[in-house]
Amino acid sequence: MSNHSLDRSRQLIEQYLSVRQLTTDICQSLEKEDLSVQPIADVSPPKWHLAHTTWFFEELLLVPYLQGFKKFNQQYSLLFNSYYKSAGDHWLQQDRGCLSRPTVNEILDYRGYIDNLVIQLLQQNNPEPEIQSILEIGLNHEQQHQELLYMDIKYILATNPTYPAYSNLPLAKSHGMKQSWKSFAEGLYHVGHEGEAFAYDNESPRHKHYTYPFKISDETVTNGEFLSFIDDKGYKSPNNWLSQGWDWVNSNSICKPLYWKQINGEWFEYTLHGLQPLDLDAPVVHVSYFEADAFATWKGARLPTEYEFEIYLQQTELKPGEKQATSQVAIYHPNNSSQKVGQVWCWTKSHYSGYPGYQTFKGVLEEYNGKFMCNQFVLKGGCVNTPKDHYRHTYRNFYQPHQRWMFSGIRLCKDH
Ligand SMILES: [Fe+2]
């Protein structure tokens, strides 16, 4: 191997190990009992994430590219394939919490086994472009699951009425900011990903989009503002709500964001730092599309389109984690409504679908994004728990309109 390909191999191995390590680190402060719980279908047991991210490298990288590869366990594909129909049968998502076996220790052994073989593959091959490309997708996939782990761990711990904290680090209180609006002129703008750096298939191709004049809030909606909506009977007034939203509110008795609790007349919010008094200046988080839209209607505003949002984001270089990194204290909960990115994923009013000329990844990965382009909305901007080097302004997160266990918030927009 030439020096150049040795360096490349070393670099890939280092990247691989650092991403894989972070996943196990996220679970480090949990107890073993926390790792197998599945309170609702959307929330997977943390140990399933540990195994599924490993299965991804096994199935997509080692099976096709490592000669003589033997699976750790033939049955794991059934258990830990998530939804890739072309990779064979898979266990139902809502039944992941029924699996007491394999144990956490067996899953950690599985991770170790696959890690050693991936390293062997990267050392052996002057890695072919195809191997490098699948490795890159596998690492980005694992980073997506790191954020999912924070979401799922939060839901699991919040389901417990003793409200155990994930982190004992104190959460800094946020400071009030005056709302201001940023105006953008009518015109043709470019949105979407271009260039050699990694991006998911759904971010391409970069293309032109004609936008009418708009102004967008420079701050995300705060808990205090959302409390005014509640106090003004926002959840009780049908004229604020989309028809499906009104049905959702009533059939599920929704009257507050997911993790808000009212105790003896005082508002609290469950965070990964434990149950905290509601910080009125912090961004509102864990709201559904229905709630975001109803709040915007009540405010005489609207949600931005994903195009407007991306045009707005193009004005900043900031990435999630950069602000937090300077404080040297891990913050797992949004506390700055004036930060443009990396606090809460903001709902847009854009339906999630392919850009003009969209093409899916090839092979098994054809199923990665394209098949979810139905009945979901795009969210932009990243959140406190989005891995720092996983974020791009072109990133298109997507969820169904009733979902709210992700770190979802609101940025308002208006026509000029
Ligand atoms: Fe996955």
For residue 39, cis peptide bond before it (omega within 30 degrees of 0): no
Q: Which pLDDT value is given to residue 323? A: 52
CA separation for the pair 10, 19 (Å, rounded): 14
Q: How far is the CA of 160 from the centre of ligand 1 (A)?
A: 26
Q: Which pLDDT value is given to residue 1? A: 63
Q: How far is the CA of 143 from the centre of ligand 1 (A)?
A: 10
CB-based burial label for 310 (10 Å; 0-12, 13-18, 19+) = buried
Q: How far is the CA of 45 from the centre of ligand 1 (A)?
A: 13
Q: How far is the CA of 38 from the centre of ligand 1 (A)?
A: 16
Q: Which pLDDT value is given to residue 326? A: 40
Q: How far is the CA of 149 from the centre of ligand 1 (A)?
A: 11
Q: How far is the CA of 83 from the centre of ligand 1 (A)?
A: 8
CA separation for the pair 13, 18 (Å, rounded): 9
Q: Which pLDDT value is given to residue 3? A: 74
**Could you tell me how far CA 239 lies from the centroid of its own chain?**
31
Q: How far is the CA of 52 from the centre of ligand 1 (A)?
A: 7
CA separation for the pair 383, 283 (Å, rounded): 11
- Of the CA atoms within 13 Å of residue 359, those in its CB half-sphere come to 5
Instruction: Provide the token pair at 124.
Output: 């052996």
Ordered per-residue pLDDT tens for the chain, 416 residues: 677 777 889 999 999 999 999 999 999 999 999 999 999 999 999 999 999 999 999 999 999 999 999 999 999 999 999 988 888 898 999 999 999 999 999 999 999 999 999 999 999 867 889 999 999 999 999 999 999 999 999 999 999 999 999 999 988 888 877 889 999 999 999 999 999 999 999 999 999 999 999 999 999 999 999 999 999 999 999 999 999 999 999 999 999 999 999 999 999 999 999 999 999 999 999 999 999 999 999 999 999 999 999 999 998 777 666 655 444 467 899 999 999 999 999 999 999 999 999 999 988 888 889 899 999 999 999 999 999 899 999 999 999 999 999 999 999 999 98
Q: Which pLDDT value is given to residue 112? A: 98
Q: How far is the CA of 367 from the centre of ligand 1 (A)?
A: 11
Q: How many CB atoms lie within 10 A of CB 407?
A: 25
Instruction: Provide the token pair at 354.
Output: 């392919």
CB contact set of 68 (below 8 Å; sequence gap of 6+): none
Residue recorded with tokens 């940025």:
411
The CA-atom distances, in angstroms, between 276 and each of 57, 221, 260, 339, 381 are 39, 19, 10, 21, 25
* Torsion angles phi and psi, residue 391, rounded to 5: -95, 145
Q: Which pLDDT value is given to residue 319? A: 66
CA nearest to 282, candidates 216, 331, 352:
331
